Amino acid sequence: MDHNMTEGREGQAIFRFALPLIGASVLQTTYSFADSVIVGNFVGEVAFGAIGLLASLIMLVNMFCTSLGSAVSIVVSQFYGAGKKEDVRECALTAQCFTIIVSLIIIAVCLLLSYPVVVMFLAPPENMQHYSMQYFMIYSVGLFFFFSYNVVYGILRAHGDSKGAMFFLLIAAVINIFLDLLFVIVFHMEVVGAALATVISQAGSAVAAYVYMVRHYRHLNLFARGNRMLSAEKVKTILKLWLPILSQTSVLSIGFIVLQRLVNTFGAASIEGYAAMQKVESFIHIIPSSLNTAMANFTGQNIGANKPERVKRGYRVTAVSVMLISAAIAAVMIAFDEPLLSVFHISPEGLKRGCEHLDLLVIFMLPQSVYTVTAGLLQGAGDAKITAVASFINLFIRVSSAYIMSLTFIGYRSLWYSLPLAWCTNCVINYCRYRSGKWEHKALVKAGSQ
């Protein structure tokens, strides 16, 4: 099932790897989308808003999971590209043990801080607070499965195996939608039912991913005799990449949490419109995000094999492709913005605000997409610090300008008027780093046989 991306046509290798990721992301986003549609139509707009205003907070806790999976994937892929098979095994097994420890710590922190963050900081309207607390606490317990899935899938991606994700997430999507209908519509469990459906579906995808991995890569079975290991050296290597990636992604998520607080000050219409817009926005980023992951793994293998010129050729093909795709997506979204957002059964004013936000967002999607692909290259090369710095700058521009403009006649529109400068700056910083060529010398692993 291995897919060696150090040989053959670069664009073909990247897109062959990315296509299953795109399919998997569509499934994952679809069941999240369906979850919100069911809540909005069968529980009500208050419950929909209560879950929607948690999106930025959930994004933050999810970033701990996905960034760890990305770091593990890149480190293992560099060992794989360098031909160091025993290091691949040791790193994969260490990552699994490390994940169990980290996930339990994060769950405990989320539960302890749930009330201060959800109720006191986000300050949702009083009629939404109970729903928000219920959903977040149940979701937090399920993070163990989300951590497990992301790390196992990261190990598989490092081997060039991205196809399994469609199967894993198909299972999750079917479970989630079925349980949503059962718990919310039949058993009238409202927000609790939606949260339980999400957690159970994540458990299903985690189990499916692990079974798939041990079936095709038996030497990576953590529960086999002699396989339980926690190498301090490999943990250090993973942390060297995880912490910058986590800094980058978590900073953005914290920025969204701060922006969500600003959204909440503009009332229920802004909360509903912003929540609906974010659900549609999640589809917009599927292809750029999948190409980010593909570019990171492609770069990891080729940097491990000491082939930086191949990385450059692959980047050029991917960057041009993502710009063309982004332009097409923008045209579709602007044409169908109102029908897409109206499926959540939100108020007319919420629909108006959501459409305005969505339209401006997709117009500036092109620089954001180029940034996403460039960040994948830099992270795959082990040069993740500059992407973290760019994220700090992006956060400062986005949040400060939004809050300043909110005090003027611009009002609630400050939420989307703060986008263009922040995204364009982020793109320029990362692209300049790519052009400098310094990423070529940041490999965590040197080529060589073992």
- Residue 34, CB half-sphere, CA atoms under 13 Å: how many? 19
The alpha-helical segments, DSSP class H, found in 53-84 are 55-81
User: 301, 84 in Cβ contact below 8 A?
Assistant: no
Helix (H) or strand (E) holding 195: helix 190-216
Least confident stretch, 7-21, 159-173, 395-409: 159-173
Residue ranges of the domains in the chain? Answer: 10-441
- pLDDT (0 to 100) of residue 360: 92
Is residue 445 very low, low, confident or very high in pLDDT (cuts 50, 70, 90)?
A: low
In the prediction, which pLDDT does 168 show? 84
Task: List pLDDT tens digits, range 181-192.
Answer: 999 999 999 999
For the entire predicted model, the pTM comes to 0.77
For 40, residues 6+ apart whose C-beta sits below 8 A from its C-beta are 47, 48, 343, 344, 345, 346
pLDDT digits (tens, 9 = 90+) for 251-303: 778 888 888 889 989 988 999 999 899 889 989 999 999 999 999 989 988 98
Contacts of 226 (CB under 8 A, 6+ apart): none
pLDDT greater than 90 at residue 112: yes
Residue with tokens 């999607």: 365
- AA identity, residue 48: F
Please provide the average confidence, as pLDDT, over all residues in the chain: 90
Tens of pLDDT, residue by residue over 12-68, are 999 998 998 898 888 878 877 888 889 988 998 889 889 988 988 998 999 999 999
Model pLDDT, residue 450:
46
Specify the amino acid at residue 34.
A
pLDDT 10s digits, 214-232: 998 988 888 887 777 789 9
Specify whether the CB–CB gap between 344 and 276 falls below 8 A. yes
Q: Which residues contact 294 (CB under 8 A, 6 or more apart)?
A: 14, 15, 17, 18, 21, 162, 318, 376
